[in-house]
């Protein structure tokens, strides 16, 4: 999205709001709506971008917006801090810093846990209570807060904290947290557990931004539960949507980034500290490349309704370092030659993308091929044909170009 502005002069500040991206245009439109509302709230230009599945990409949006401002604040439109917030978006910001010397980039926090969002959930719960004909002041009302679920324990832990904050001082009999996928406890299991206490009503709150497949599953599960347990009234609310309290939270995240007071839960981040059961999850270059692979994994999917987060990954992913020293050695040309070579190949299931510094300055351009864990160094445009025809098409490593293997 690019909002029209009457004044073409250089802005002191601009905001890039980064959503996940969806094949459903309604979900992408929600990001644009929130961007427009945030622009009105802040009186600062706000554009929208997407991590995957929609245009513009973060890189393209930055290329378009950077020449118009002196400072750009990138704010992830993400409920919790999992892989996208910790890897994909920071990677794009780092790339931007390396290529736009005249623009200062600031990185804002995700939505996270915010009093405005707790109040919004409380309001959603009251609407469901009204539909069911119950009142927490006189009836036993239990709440199940259902989030998507993540492989990141830090993100899942925040769901439980949010549920506790919703419980405190609001008169609910209990507030439990649950997940619709990836991790446990699952929504069905939690609902059956809550039913054993025979509350008068159970309110299910989907902790989702948009009205997509996962939100629909949560609502359907609540309806099925209501049918199976006739002695408990049950109903589900809608998602958070483009409510003004979401905009208020985004505005706070922007202000935090501008004042340098962004807080991330690094003490419990699996990419920063060793957590039991997550010892193999690493940060650094490998985490970055894992993020690049994830960005490409949705590309071939057609039937989104089956499972919106099942991936069809490419056979190989090629990352070309385009940081300062590699760029000076012709990395941009190498990148485009590899992309063209892959497009021209008869049978080559490969995704090629740029990366930030891979820590091999002076030996570039560096080209990393995964999952083979082979890094080529000093690659010239003339070398790209051999990398494509030999390694990418026939799995034959170009030995004289190998810089290292991991």
pLDDT for 73-105, tens place per residue? Answer: 999 999 998 777 877 888 888 889 988 989 999
Residue 307 tokens, joined: 């499972």
Residue 56 tokens, joined: 């513009």
Would you say residue 113 has pLDDT above 50? Answer: yes
Separation of alpha carbons 89 and 95, rounded Å: 10
Report for 61-70, 264-273, 291-300: range of highest mean pLDDT: 61-70
> Do 137 and 75 sit in the same domain of this protein?
no
Residue 354: which of 284, 283, 271, 288 has the closest Cα? 288
Residue 322 — pLDDT band, cuts 50, 70, 90?
A: confident
Q: Which of 215, 236, 257 is the last residue of a domain?
A: 236
The CA-atom distances, in angstroms, between 257 and each of 15, 64, 137, 262 are 11, 21, 40, 6
Enter the DSSP assignment of 57: B
Region 363-381: what's the mean pLDDT? 90
> Do 100 and 168 sit in the same domain of this protein?
no
Residue 241 lies in a domain: no
Residue 39 — pLDDT band, cuts 50, 70, 90?
A: very high
> Do 213 and 252 sit in the same domain of this protein?
no
> Do 230 and 132 sit in the same domain of this protein?
yes
> Do 150 and 211 sit in the same domain of this protein?
yes
Separation of alpha carbons 88 and 82, rounded Å: 10
> Do 123 and 218 sit in the same domain of this protein?
yes
pLDDT for 120-132, tens place per residue? Answer: 999 999 999 999 9
Residue 17: which of 57, 42, 46, 45 has the closest Cα? 46
Asked if residues 21 and 50 have their Cβ atoms less than 8 Å apart, the reply is yes
Would you say residue 274 has pLDDT above 70? Answer: no
The number of helix segments (H) and strand segments (E) in the chain equals: 14, 13
Region 68-76: what's the mean pLDDT? 95
Residue 300 lies in a domain: no
Would you say residue 310 has pLDDT above 70? Answer: no
Q: Any idea what the CATH number is for the domain that residue 91 is in?
A: 3.40.50.1400
Separation of alpha carbons 11 and 69, rounded Å: 5
Residue 185 lies in a domain: yes
Q: What share of the chain in percent tops pLDDT 90?
A: 58
Residue 357 tokens, joined: 């510094």
Residue 4 — pLDDT band, cuts 50, 70, 90?
A: very low
Residue 331 — pLDDT band, cuts 50, 70, 90?
A: confident
Separation of alpha carbons 225 and 392, rounded Å: 50
Q: What is the reported pLDDT for 156?
A: 93
Q: Which of 189, 213, 236 is the last residue of a domain?
A: 236
Alpha-carbon dihedral angle through residues 354, 358, 360, 363, given to the nearest 10 degrees: -10
Q: What is the reported pLDDT for 343?
A: 87
Mean of per-residue pLDDT scores for the chain = 86
Residue 188 lies in a domain: yes
284 against 181, higher pLDDT? 181
> Do 79 and 97 sit in the same domain of this protein?
yes
Would you say residue 391 has pLDDT above 60? Answer: yes
Measured on CA atoms in the order 25, 31, 37, 43, is the torsion positive or negative? negative
Separation of alpha carbons 62 and 69, rounded Å: 11
Residue 294 lies in a domain: no
- Count up the domains in the chain and report the number: 3
Asked if residues 55 and 87 have their Cβ atoms less than 8 Å apart, the reply is no
Would you say residue 302 has pLDDT above 60? Answer: no
Q: What share of the chain in percent tops pLDDT 70?
A: 84
SS3 assignment, position 226:
helix
Separation of alpha carbons 46 and 261, rounded Å: 21
404 against 44, higher pLDDT? 44
Q: pTM for this one?
A: 0.68
Q: What is the reported pLDDT for 2?
A: 43
Spatial neighbors of 184 by CB under 8 A, at least 6 apart, are none
Domain that holds residue 232: 115-236
SS3 assignment, position 23:
coil
127, containing H or E segment:
helix 115-132
Residue 71 tokens, joined: 């400072």
Region 311-322: what's the mean pLDDT? 79
> Do 222 and 251 sit in the same domain of this protein?
no
> Do 119 and 231 sit in the same domain of this protein?
yes
> Do 49 and 139 sit in the same domain of this protein?
no
* The pairing of beta strand 316-321 with beta strand 367-370: antiparallel
> Do 348 and 365 sit in the same domain of this protein?
yes
Entry field: residues in the chain = 406
Residue 284 lies in a domain: no
Q: What is the reported pLDDT for 327?
A: 81
Residue 308 lies in a domain: no
> Do 192 and 263 sit in the same domain of this protein?
no
Region 288-314: what's the mean pLDDT? 55
Residue 43 — pLDDT band, cuts 50, 70, 90?
A: very high
Q: What is the reported pLDDT for 193?
A: 97
The CA-atom distances, in angstroms, between 16 and each of 13, 46, 236, 250 are 10, 6, 32, 11
Spatial neighbors of 121 by CB under 8 A, at least 6 apart, are 145, 162, 166, 205, 207
Residue 298 lies in a domain: no
30 against 1, higher pLDDT? 30
Spatial neighbors of 337 by CB under 8 A, at least 6 apart, are 381, 384, 385
Separation of alpha carbons 11 and 7, rounded Å: 9
Region 345-354: what's the mean pLDDT? 84
Would you say residue 170 has pLDDT above 90? Answer: yes
Q: Is the peptide bond before 185 cis (omega within 30 degrees of 0)?
A: yes
Q: What is the reported pLDDT for 109?
A: 92
Q: Any idea what the CATH number is for the domain that residue 339 is in?
A: 3.40.30.10
Would you say residue 8 has pLDDT above 50? Answer: no
Spatial neighbors of 63 by CB under 8 A, at least 6 apart, are none
Enter the DSSP assignment of 197: T
């Amino acid at each position: 999205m690019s909002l029209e502005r009457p004044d073409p002069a250089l802005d002191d500040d601009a905001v890039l709001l980064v959503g996940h991206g969806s094949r459903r245009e309604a979900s992408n439109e929600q990001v644009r709506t929130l961007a427009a509302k945030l622009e009105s709230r802040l009186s600062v230009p706000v554009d929208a971008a997407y991590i995957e599945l929609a245009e513009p990409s973060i890189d393209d949006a930055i290329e378009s917006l950077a020449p118009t401002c002196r400072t750009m604040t990138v704010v992830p439109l993400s409920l919790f801090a999992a892989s996208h917030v910790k890897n994909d978006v920071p990677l794009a910001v780092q790339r931007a810093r390396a290529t736009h010397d005249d623009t200062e980039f600031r990185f804002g926090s995700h939505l996270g846990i915010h009093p405005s969002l707790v109040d919004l959930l409380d309001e959603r719960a009251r609407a469901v209570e009204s539909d069911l004909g119950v009142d927490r002041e006189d009836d036993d009302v239990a709440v199940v807060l259902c989030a998507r679920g993540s492989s990141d324990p830090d993100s899942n832990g925040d769901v439980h904290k949010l549920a506790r904050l919703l419980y405190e001082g609001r008169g609910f009999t209990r507030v439990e947290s649950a997940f619709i996928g990836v991790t446990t406890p699952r929504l069905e299991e939690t609902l059956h557990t809550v039913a054993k206490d025979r509350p008068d009503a159970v309110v299910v709150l989907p902790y989702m931004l948009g009205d997509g497949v996962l939100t629909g599953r949560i609502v359907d599960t609540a309806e099925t539960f209501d049918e199976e347990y006739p002695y408990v009234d049950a109903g589900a609310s809608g998602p958070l949507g483009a409510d003004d309290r979401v905009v208020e939270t985004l505005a706070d995240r922007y202000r935090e980034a501008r004042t340098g007071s962004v807080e991330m839960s690094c003490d419990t981040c699996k990419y920063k500290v060793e957590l039991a059961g997550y010892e193999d999850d690493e940060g650094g270059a490998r985490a970055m490349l894992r993020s690049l692979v994830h960005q490409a994994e949705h590309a071939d999917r057609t039937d989104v309704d089956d499972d919106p987060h099942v991936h069809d990954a490419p056979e190989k992913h090629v990352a070309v370092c385009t940081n300062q020293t590699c760029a000076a050695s012709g990395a941009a040309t190498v990148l485009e030659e590899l992309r063209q070579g892959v497009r021209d190949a008869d049978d080559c299931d490969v995704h090629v993308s740029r990366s930030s510094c891979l820590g091999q300055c002076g030996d570039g351009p560096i080209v990393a091929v995964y999952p083979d864990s082979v890094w080529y160094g000093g690659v010239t445009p003339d070398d790209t044909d051999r990398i494509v025809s030999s390694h990418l098409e026939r799995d034959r490593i170009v030995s004289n170009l190998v810089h290292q293997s991991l």
